Chains A and B, each alone.
Chain A
């Protein structure tokens, strides 16, 4: 089969980009979307043209590196599937497919379809961690974890941090991502010591990056390759509200915030 691509090309963050059309060489319908791009790039290279830059790593749906907005939908036509797990058999011979980068002010374009998602890393650095003792590995079952909390934490931990939620949201909001991380750690006993500090710090970092706010449209949940639930945003809001009222534990009332 062959398809036609209308793909975003931009040589660097500073110069304006534009769509460019390419016809693919003959491709196997069982190729993944990324393999199709590989074939297109080889073809471009053989003609002495610049290949299309796109992000990818594991190609098995677990790392969150692949991105792309395919025909208007982050990660392509399917539900609960990342771009790297999307196959060309989902398209028809001769289709025109529009391929764009994730668009959000905090995700500046580096080149073509590659965007800089370090904003997510900075949010994680602000609070997406727990403190552990170094030394021997503790016994795996030493800390009892209620089954319900373990299951919910696992659901939240599914998040691979790809940024599709931001790309799909009409407000380019990162709340689904941040709430998954806040909930994943906040649900487990190991995450309790920093629970309040974490949610305050991560929300502050999220706002600082310039992501939008949630208007509960549900688009993020609908495109998430890991089907993270919107309920985690409620959970984050509750944690945030409680932390706002309680302040950070261990800090004297009225103590300077810079201390």
Chain B
């Protein structure tokens, strides 16, 4: 019992939970990116991939529930620690303070995280639940079907192209993945410290985290940018 109370009840324990859930989410972020990049390989590849995921409901729902649990853990420890931090300095300083070597990303983790969370909700409604009201194009993405042999499957390629051809939607997406990368550029480095891994120097960890953040940004942003520049424009006739 003491294990649980110490894990959730202590500042250090919550940092462990934040770091572990953060890294789990990051693994998903990378896996999801690799899946999405198949859009560059043409409609057949990505539609086959999407159909494959849909054909494995056990895996799909296992992953979804696991991710939901990770987000819940990450966000609840973030909120709890942020409250602790706010209460620790009830009276602010009168003189404006220099950042003393702290990075912009490190000072805005809660904000970047909350905007990413808002984006995740939008993103799920947009492409997973496919709520027509949020895609700003007036069409129902679930109606996009592609015939394969005697059956049909969801035309995910077309959904992505039509979805991102809306500049506002793409802009929100790009800003959100930008903030996610900012979050990761600090988070991935901070995680080593939270987990007590002293193997690499802070400079090395920061460099690693920034590179990973940048790769995440370039990878994700490349899709809406490519669509806005004309990728797949043949699907709109």
Contacts and interface: CB of A to CB of B under 8 A. Distances in A.
Contacts of A69: 93, 95
Given A73-B97, A213-B81, A235 B196 contact: yes
Contacts of B103: 217-218
A176 to B, nearest CB: 12
Interface stretch (B11-19, B56-64, B67-75): B11-19
A221 B15 CA distance: 19
Nearest to B189: A216
Interface string A228-257: 001101111111111011010000000001
Contacts of A210: 84, 87-88
A219 B101 contact: yes
A90 interface: no
Nearest to B11: A213
B85 A203 contact: no
24 contacts: A73-B98, A98-B95, A170-B85, A170-B89, A171-B84, A171-B85, A173-B11, A204-B6, A206-B11, A210-B88, A211-B11, A213-B11, A216-B194, A217-B103, A223-B100, A233-B193, A234-B196, A237-B195, A238-B195, A238-B196, A239-B196, A241-B195, A244-B6, A247-B2
Contacts of B138: none
Sort A-B residue pairs by CB-CB distance and give the 3 closest, nearest first.
A238-B196, A217-B102, A171-B85
Interface size for chain B: under 10, 10 to 19, 20 to 34, or 35 or more residues?
A: 35 or more
A207 interface: yes
A82 interface: no
A106 B92 CA distance: 14
A212 B85 contact: yes
A237 B88 contact: no
B88 A171 contact: yes
Contacts of B198: 231, 234-235, 238
A95 interface: no
A185 B13 CA distance: 22
Given A214-B15, A231-B201, A234-B193, 8 more contacts: A100-B95, A103-B92, A207-B11, A213-B15, A213-B81, A231-B198, A238-B196, A244-B13
A233 B195 CA distance: 10
Nearest to A235: B198
B89 A105 contact: yes
A205 to B, nearest CB: 11
A237 B100 contact: no
Nearest to A213: B11
A16 B148 CA distance: 75
A212 B84 contact: yes
Contacts of B90: 105
Contacts of A239: 196
Given A172-B85, A234-B197, A244-B3, A72 B10 contact: no
